[in-house]
A and B are shown apart, each in its own frame.
Chain A
């Protein structure tokens, strides 16, 4: 198992020969927070409360497990970020309460009184913990606001709605077996090995990552499907134009191909229909297909298809 070493104001995660800096609490240039640097010394006295708090955090952990190690690494990474800039910092803890949360709850307001620790858990922690607010999950899902928290601490690989709750350039920390984590998460994360099998992931939610993520959310998948459907519909004017210019023999085969595409898109539309705002779009789409088939069978007109195309386009854009 990895170790956390402390030397000369630096906390380092030691994994065999490899050391990774977790937090530097003494270099003056590193500390751009509202807290004075002199508070970070090795003197564990009452006049240097922050040092005490940071170091005391480690003492709260009685048993070394991958989970408690992950807690400590997370804690130190948050400290490093707090030192970076004097901005307001909101942290969300999801899942079981950790002994380190008490330290975190004490630490956060010292950097900025507006800093907050939120907890999303079924149980309220024991003991006196300041600056903690509780929000709750509903059923098996998480009802979290998007782009809200600077840091989220999550007990396992987070679902998209939790990742979405992290602010731009914020971080999410979770413990997982690396081989089980999707590549797109790994690519966005710094990985701190805890044991041979388990690691702590520190994932930065950049706008690019958010874009990737959006594709994986129900809304993102919906948008993607809707966009593909709209693209199919948008072809109508061009299809009709070409249809009118083709020799008779080639007209039917040409339209068959497009109607088949429309029929495929209709099935996708039926799938996502409950999530769409319009309650007429499915019917209007079917009517477009109906009029195209009529045209193909010699019973319809391009004008009728065009009219329906306009109705449907408006409906799809709602």
Chain B
């Protein structure tokens, strides 16, 4: 603790395929950056994100995350991380780790030896398929889990699953949303838009399912449009051409916006959509887009990945279809798009549900309480 402030350090996983053992600028705005940022902003921590320098610049740091610090490791190795723990032990009151990687075992062991009084938060943020492959019965791995003060899943399904499988209590810490941009949700004018956001055309997102389902019901739903927001994968472009060649009548009704980097503009997309649709064949915990959609009062339709129940509040504000099932999605679209009351009530429920469950201020406050109880700042 320095000057009465607790020190929170998030150390990036070594050898990570997404960020090469560091953090990228986009991640700073996701839960791995938001949690330390809000611990700093709302609870008086000194918060540091540690990893190799992955991006040349980190504009979000200055733009949105004032006070959050980035520290760069000289190399992407476990030893470099251990050295960092050794040299910052006195200040490292809280160690935060994302993902339940067995590679963390030596880090946690070292941290415990130099800071037996310190706290460890392990945010698993993983899907069940991935969790199933972890060596949860291995004594070293078990010991690693037991060394953590808070172990959390990011959706109810994963929490329930891990609660049975793991021998430690498993908390629910969702990937929520923080209103960096002063978005006003009172001025929403909803249109007959089905929105999806993400890396369009990636194998994971399965966007062709939405296109094909919409093609089946488009004639029954005059006035409804689909908007796909996000950079388009090259491999997906030929499919899109074929799709429009087969259904030229949908060219005006299906729009690929491309990547929208400006967050306010992106939020406008959510705000005018009545329906948010996610067709992924898997998700690693709760997708970050979920909270944005819910706050924007979107009725959510998603495939049956782990966090589907969280996304729809168990069908209170959405519907779930089996992964990869075009007909099932088409049937849902046909039903809900024609039910104005369902969409309105569901949208209102979504917004209220988001304020209660996906507000990152509340989520981080709960995490802080889990770590420090009545001594939480």
A interface residues with partner B (beta carbon < 8 Å): 252-253, 256-257, 259-260, 263, 266-267, 269-271, 273-274, 279-280, 282-283, 285-286, 290, 293-294, 296-297, 299
Contacts and interface: CB of A to CB of B under 8 A. Distances in A.
13 contacts: A253-B374, A256-B373, A256-B374, A257-B374, A273-B164, A273-B167, A279-B164, A286-B171, A290-B171, A290-B366, A293-B369, A294-B362, A299-B365
B259 interface: no
Given A256-B374, A270-B167, A282-B163, A290 B172 contact: yes
Q: Which 5 A-B pairs have the closest CB atoms?
A: A256-B374, A283-B163, A282-B163, A283-B160, A266-B169
Contacts of A253: 374
B45 to A, nearest CB: 17
B356 interface: yes
A260 B172 contact: no
Given A253-B374, A267-B169, A282 B369 contact: no
B367 to A, nearest CB: 10
A299 B352 CA distance: 13
Contacts of B164: 273, 279, 282-283
Interface of B: 159-160, 163-164, 167-172, 356, 362, 365-366, 369-370, 373-374
A270 B169 contact: yes
A294 B369 CA distance: 10
Contacts of A266: 169
B362 A286 contact: no
Contacts of B172: 286, 290
A232 to B, nearest CB: 14
Given A270-B168, A270-B169, A293-B366, A286 B163 contact: yes
Contact of A299 (B159, B169, B362): B362
A256 B375 CA distance: 9
Nearest to A263: B373
Contacts of A280: 160
Among A259, A267, A290, A299, chain B packs the most CB atoms within 10 A around the CB of A299
A110 B370 CA distance: 69
A259 B356 CA distance: 21
Contacts of A269: 169
Among A257, A270, A279, chain B packs the most CB atoms within 10 A around the CB of A270
B361 to A, nearest CB: 9
B160 A297 contact: no
Contact of A293 (B163, B170, B356, B370): B370
Contacts, number: 53
A214 B64 CA distance: 61
A283 B169 CA distance: 8
Among A257, A260, A279, A283, chain B packs the most CB atoms within 10 A around the CB of A283
A62 to B, nearest CB: 50
A286 B170 contact: yes
A271 B172 CA distance: 19
Contacts of A256: 373-374
A283 B164 CA distance: 8
Contacts of B362: 294, 297, 299
A259 B366 contact: no
Contact of A259 (B168, B170, B365, B373): B373
A183 B285 CA distance: 53
B260 to A, nearest CB: 31
Given A297-B366, A299-B362, A283 B374 contact: no
A285 B171 CA distance: 10
A296 B160 contact: no
A57 B171 CA distance: 66
A36 to B, nearest CB: 63
B157 to A, nearest CB: 11
Contacts of A290: 171-172, 366
Contact of A286 (B169, B356, B369, B374): B169
Contacts of A257: 374
Contacts of B159: 283, 286
A279 B163 CA distance: 9
A260 B371 CA distance: 11
Contacts of B365: 297, 299
Contacts of A286: 159, 163, 169-172
A297 B171 CA distance: 16
A297 B164 CA distance: 28
B374 to A, nearest CB: 3
Given A260-B374, A296-B369, 6 more contacts: A256-B373, A283-B159, A286-B163, A294-B362, A297-B366, A299-B356
Given A279-B164, A283-B163, A297 B369 contact: yes
A299 B168 CA distance: 25
B351 to A, nearest CB: 16
B159 to A, nearest CB: 7
